[in-house]
Amino acid sequence: MTLSYRQPGVVLTDRRFTVPLDHDHPGGETIELYAREVVASDKAHQDLPWLLYLQGGPGFGADRSVGRPGWLGRALKEYRVLLLDQRGTGHSTPANRQTLPLRGGPAAQADYLTHFRADSIVRDCEAIRAQVTGGAPWTVLGQSFGGFCLTTYLSLAPEGLATAVITGGLPSLDAHADDVYRAAFPRIERKVTAHYARYPQDAERARRIADHLLTHDVVLPNGYRLTVEAFQSLGIVLGTGDGTHRLHYLLENAFVRTPQGFTLSDAFQEQAQGMLSYARHPLYALVHEAIYGQDARPTAWSAERVRAEFPRFDAAKALAGDEPLLFTGESIHPWMFDCDPALRPLRETADLLAARTDWTPLYDPARLAANDVPVVAAVYHDDMYVDTAHSLRTARAIRGLRTWITDEFEHDGVRTGGQRVLDRLLALARNEA
């Protein structure tokens, strides 16, 4: 049964679909997908084209917005929008420490999670498209990892696409995870340097917090072990439009004086655990490096191995001298599965995924070179999460793709830029700009 309800300016409808777990075996086990249909209230009874939104991640459910903010407001001027919870996220047969034991032990869990990459997500989209559009191709907006999925869509099923719109999500077609992280750490250092230039007082604050963590065993209220490496990982926010300000306000409230001396404040600990915990999106941690697996090479905890090639990120060495403490960015490490109570039961599963040698290609360079779908992409000039050089190389490999390269926004420009980003990209796709 479908259920429709209203928010200011929009009508929402819950949609549920059944798809195969493994699309190569359509008669086998199935999973459920959830999506939220959104249409402007004054257009609710009109026959509108469809726009499918693929969220960033991996492992995040679709936006839970209220009304018609930002890009959604622009899309609703002419589209009926489907906000899909990709498999394993949100209401779409969630995969987490509570549900994965239903599969069996770690080996069975790891096998199950091999079906949660971009190729399976694209085949889900094609499986439900006929039910949603009646078989007509739809416009797809892919943000970040959603853009990775859309690049796979162009490789596997371009006939399902009317227009492809990518924001901050043009992946390398052939880079191993090691290549991705070797390109990432210098970008992360640039973001940290820019943060300290904006907030110079934070350099000493970060060193003081790191020194405290190196000499104290700190467990946050939710059971998260706050190590110095975990503290450094808070730098992941520096790739977003307001991230530098969020980090600053966190650091300025770090310590409080108690009868036993200075210690980390309850306010700091509460905010830090909300930023660090993967309880709401554990799939991100489990399959993050697997999204770069495309051949027989294991990912083998790539970010952890590559980080060792950049000794400036070593907190103890920085504190022993006068170097600034460097935060880290979008990377997953084995110690996270020891620190985070939402991930601890999944450590062996994560190890097995990191060791796999049977990853299959996610992109088809020949098909992309022959592309005839209108494709546009926003490429952010120094995107912390997706390497700009990798994105531009892929842009040249996809026939007819038009790029909008900008330094006005960070990686989340489609969220922070209101209606402007989507408006600009749709104009490019239609040769109106």
Cα(331)–Cα(154) distance, integer angstroms: 27
One-letter amino acid for residue 365 of the chain: P
Candidate list 92, 120, 144, 233, residue with the active-site label: 144
Please choose, from the candidates 154, 185, 190, the residue with its C-alpha nearest in 3D space to the C-alpha of residue 170: 154
Residue 143 gets which letter from DSSP? E
Strands 80-85 and 50-54, bridge-based pairing: parallel
Q: What are φ and ψ of residue 373, in 5° steps?
A: -85, 135
Candidate list 115, 176, 288, 411, residue with the active-site label: 411
Long-range contacts of 403-407 (CB under 8 A, 24+ apart): 403/376, 403/377, 403/378, 403/379, 404/376, 404/377, 404/378, 404/379, 404/428, 405/379, 405/380, 405/381, 406/378, 406/379, 406/380, 406/381, 407/380, 407/381, 407/382
Q: What's the N-to-C CA distance of the chain in angstroms?
A: 43
Whether 411 is catalytic is: yes
List Cβ neighbours of 280 (8 Å cut-off, separation of 6 or more). none
Cα(363)–Cα(179) distance, integer angstroms: 17
Within 13 Å of residue 253, how many CA atoms lie on the same side as its CB?
A: 14
Please choose, from the candidates 355, 369, 424, the residue with its C-alpha nearest in 3D space to the C-alpha of residue 401: 369
- Answer whether 122's CB lies under 8 Å from 115's CB: no
- Answer whether 238's CB lies under 8 Å from 329's CB: yes
- Answer whether 40's CB lies under 8 Å from 9's CB: yes
Please choose, from the candidates 381, 383, 359, 363, the residue with its C-alpha nearest in 3D space to the C-alpha of residue 371: 363
- Answer whether 62's CB lies under 8 Å from 36's CB: yes
CA 18 to chain centre: 24
List Cβ neighbours of 378 (8 Å cut-off, separation of 6 or more). 166, 167, 168, 403, 404, 406, 409, 413, 414, 421, 424, 425
- Answer whether 329's CB lies under 8 Å from 184's CB: yes
Whether 281 is catalytic is: no
What are the structure tokens assigned to 299, written together? 């990912």
Whether 216 is catalytic is: no
Active-site amino acid positions: 144, 358, 411
